Amino acid sequence: MQKLVRGIHQFQAEFFTSNRALFEKLAEGQRPETLFITCSDSRVIPELITSAAPGELFIIRNIGNIVPRDGEHYPGGAVAALEYAVEFLEVSTVIVCGHTGCGAMQAVLDPPAVARLPYVRHWLQQTDHLREVIERRYSHLQGEARVTAAVEENVLFQLESLRHYPFVTRRLADGRLRMAGWVFKIATGEVFAYDPAAESFTLLGGPA
């Protein structure tokens, strides 16, 4: 706790003081252009990865960066925040970002790992299909490579889940919204984006 308190003092003395005008403007309201859906993992920091300033990203975080397909069976913050970002804030971009070494995907591949965590187990039931996909398509992979395959497939599934909401599909259809799927590689700081033409994740900022 004391470390966090010291961090607050440092923020106020340094960053806030140097950007007072920005925060005064932000106090009037928010107009983020991007909804960033990612994992709760403490190693994934959207603003750091994207060099985004305060007010530029509206963020949804949960275990496994999941977009519930059934908003009634899995009610709560994820679906409400999605609706708010798209319908009220009118974001123009939605990014679903997974990451390497994801504990949620490890648990999907190895359900007994979360046997004593009933709420986590219930939440991850939304991704049970991934286990079958990985076994069918990636049986040749083991260890971290297998987890990364699950991370990538999960990002693609969540992009499809977004299309289950009429307020998303309407804006996609009329060109007011676009979506992207990313994977953040923690060890290298690289970000890979899904390329539909190549049907694979390619390095952002890398060679074409």
Active-site residue set:
39, 41, 43, 99, 102
Tell me the C-alpha to C-alpha distance, in Å, between residue 156 and each of 27, 52, 96, 98, 162: 35, 24, 8, 10, 10
CA distance 39 to 145: 19
Going by C-beta distance under 8 Å and a sequence separation of 6 or more, which residues neighbour residue 85? 32, 35, 58, 60, 91, 94
Alpha-carbon distances of 58 from 27, 54, 74, 160, rounded to whole Å: 15, 10, 21, 20
Q: What is the Cβ-side half-sphere exposure of residue 170, based on CA atoms within 13 angstroms?
A: 7
